[in-house]
Structure 1
Amino acid sequence: MPKIAELTRWVTAQSTGERTLPYFDPLDGGVFARVLILLESPARTISLPRYVSRDNAGPAQRNLKGFIEQVGLARHETVLWNLYPWLPDLEKPKGALRRAQIDEGIEMLITLLTLFPDLVTIVFAGRVAQKAIPRVRLAFPDFSLLKMPHPSPLSVCTHPNVRQRILSTLRHAKQSIE
């Protein structure tokens, strides 16, 4: 598929040694996406090959898929990625991302964003992803940068207005490309 061929080559080039990246979902917009939704990090699962996809079985992905569909943001207009994109080592316990990992992810994101010529808007889902905003704003001042709560059930259930804030942000992203 031409829309993800360049992204697949990029993922393959970045996956070295024990550090592997998931692939972009071929059903999304690929390099033609106009909205990128940036999450935190890949879920811990053993299924391979791995894709960053709204169709993954995790609860955050199910929520995100429902929110995107609810606002009518077309799949071919979007692409998903993670700030810290490397697949987790399942032999090690899960822990919070360290600052060095976040910084490494931000630098990789800046490089990745150059592969999307039609990109207009980035939605930063959750506090970790939002740490990239200052660096992205500096590198790409013309992008619309939107903050959104993370779509995980833990986040959505913390306050009654989180769901509405997510929907409002995604509606704004949709309006930015109309």
Structure 2
Amino acid sequence: MRTAAAHAAPAMPVLADPGQLMARREALGAAHAAPLASYAAALRRSTGQPVPDADPADGGVAARLLLLLETPGPAIGRTGFVSRDNPAPTARNLRRFLAASGLARRETLIWNTVPFVIHAPGAANRAPSRREREAGLALLPGLLKLLPELAVVVLAGRAAAAAAPVLAVLRPSLPVLRMPHPSPTYVCTSPAVPQRIAATLAEAAATLGDTHRSIAA
């Protein structure tokens, strides 16, 4: 017999709740989140494009792991955040993978290689063009200046992988890991894809553990 839990509906994504969304907006003024909120606001002014904020429920400027995705998805128009809590399939997958990895949320920051919205209102997301990738990569130094505790970067997807040479110049000693994008488009193509994502995040968690032990010693 199936239990009541088996019939329960999936939990609603946190940022689909207007009250929770308002609380996250208010939390952008917190010490760990405010510098990134200012950075995003400056990008909105300079690019003239929508640029979502980093989720203040994550580590903010104290983050030790930077997870770079590709571009803001359609859910951004509803929430204004780059977040694992967005009401979108990619966020749902990411939320699941991050929870399984054991990575503490306060250690992480999620951002996009191309931080501004590139799709037309109401249109499906698309891969960034070469010019858009280059424009996004040119903004990466400003982000890294805000992350003094950074100990590892995870690049998710092909567009994010283009950040590797930039990171090698800006932070030569920083470990950089690559994994497939967590979009259902990729995750559902082969069992190997979720396995690679899980393995990469596990390696990132181990890297943070090793860094912590090295500092403590």
- Identify the TM-score tier after normalising by the shorter chain: over 0.9
Q: Distance in 1 between matches of 2:93 and 2:124?
A: 25
Q: Deviations over 1:40-76 (max 9, x none)?
A: 1011247455000000011111101100101111100
Taking the aligned partners of 2:76 and 2:87, their CA distance within structure 1 comes to 12
1:14-163 counterparts in 2 under 5 A? 14-16=43-45, 18-45=48-75, 47-88=77-118, 89-90=120-121, 94-163=125-194
**Counterpart in 2 of 1:170?**
201
When you count helix as a share of all residues, which structure comes out higher? 2
TM-score (norm 1): 0.94
TM-score (norm 2): 0.77
1:8 to 27, 32, 37: 37
Q: Mark the CA change 1:93 to 1:29 in structure 2 (over 3 Å): closer, same or farther.
A: closer
Mapped partners of 1:26, 1:41: distance in 2: 19
CA–CA separation in structure 1 for the residues paired with 2:117 and 2:183? 18
Q: Deviation at 1:98?
A: 1.1
Structure 1 residues 70 and 5, CA, compared in 2 at 3 Å: closer, same or farther?
same
SS in 2 for 1:3: coil
Supply the AA of the counterpart residue of 2:37: T
Give 1 or 2 for the bigger CA radius of gyration.
2
CA RMSD of aligned residues (A): 1.6
Provide the secondary structure at the position in 1 that maps to 2:32: helix
Instruction: Show structure 1 runs of 5+ residues with no match.
Output: none
Percent identity over paired residues: 40
Cα distance change, pair 46–134 in 1 and its aligned pair in 2 (3 A): closer
Structure 1 position 18, deviation (Å): 3.4
Answer 1 or 2: higher relative contact order, Cα 8 Å, separation at least 6: 1
Q: Shift of the alpha carbon at 1:96?
A: 3.0
How many residue pairs were aligned?
A: 178
